Chains A and B, each alone.
Chain A
Amino acid sequence: MTETLTKIIVDCSTKQETIVPLTAEEIAQREADAVAFAEIKAAEEAAAQAKAAAKASAEAKLAALGLTADEIAAL
C-alpha cells in the first residue's frame, strides 16, 4: 500500500477528534484481518454455491420424475 492510511479517534470523555496515520503494526493487523475476512466470505460463498447446485440437481431429478415446475416450487 502506498497511500497513507489514517484512523479517526474520538475521545468520548473530551469529545476531541484526532486523525493520525496507522502504525505499521496496525496496518499489518488490518491486512491479516482482511485475509481472514476474505477466507470467511469465500467459505460462505462456496457453501452457498454448493447448496444452490444441490438444489438445482434435486429439482432436475424431480422434473425427470414428472413433477411440474409449480409442484416442485410447492415443496
Chain B
Amino acid sequence: MALTYVAIATVTVGSGGANTITFNSIPNTYTDLLVYLSVRSDVSGTGSYVSARFNGTASIYQHIELYAENPTPESAKDPNQTQSYLYTLGHCPGNTATANTFSNNLVYIPNYAASNNKSVSAEGLAENNSSTNGNWTVSMTAGFASLASAISSVTFTLGSNASQNFMQYSTATLYGIENTV
C-alpha cells in the first residue's frame, strides 16, 4: 500500500457483536478518507447492507447504486436528499451465508475536511459460496451528503432491521490519504 495511506484507527468486533461502529475525532489533516470493511451481519438471511452517517447528521444523503445479485445487473437510486443514512455502501453476508465469509467493502470520501458538500464512492462484495441468484451481491455506489462542514465522525450500521449487529471478527479500518509522500 502506498505510503500516502495512513491507518488512523481499526476496529475488530468482539464476541458480543456490535450494532454500530463509529470513528470519532477524525483529524482534519488528510486530503481524503478511506474505510475498508470486512463485515458480516447476524441477520437471518444471506445478505445485508452497509450504511453510514457523517457527524451524526441525518436526512442529508442521496445515492445511486449499480448492483448485481444475478447475471443481469440492476440499478437503484434515491435522488432526494432526505435519506437518514447513506444507504447501501456495499453489501455484506448475512448469518445464513457460507460460514466464515465476510464482505469486502471500500468507502472513499474525498475532500472530507472541506467546507463543501461531500461526495462518496463505495464498492462492496457480499462473499458467499453459492450459485443461487440473490445469495451474493456485487455493487458500486455513488453517494452525496449535503454537509458543508468537515467530517469528524463516521458511523457504520447495517440494513433494514434495527437490531442487526456486526458479527464477531468483523473489522473496519479508517485510513487518511495524504497527497504528499
Contact = CB atoms under 8 A, between A and B. Distances in A.
A12 B84 contact: no
Nearest to A7: B20
Given A5-B19, A15-B9, A38 B24 contact: no
A23 to B, nearest CB: 12
A10 B160 contact: no
B174 A12 contact: yes
A34 interface: yes
Nearest to B176: A12
Contacts of A3: 163
Interface residues of B, number: 36
Interface stretch (B10-18, B93-101, B108-116): B10-18
Contacts of A53: none
Contact of A36 (B23, B84, B163): B84
B26 interface: yes
B160 to A, nearest CB: 4
Contact of A6 (B16, B161, B162): B16
A30 B21 CA distance: 13
A12 B16 contact: no
6 contacts: A7-B21, A8-B20, A11-B25, A12-B26, A30-B19, A44-B76
Given A8-B21, A33-B58, A47-B76, 6 more contacts: A7-B21, A10-B23, A11-B25, A14-B25, A33-B51, A34-B162
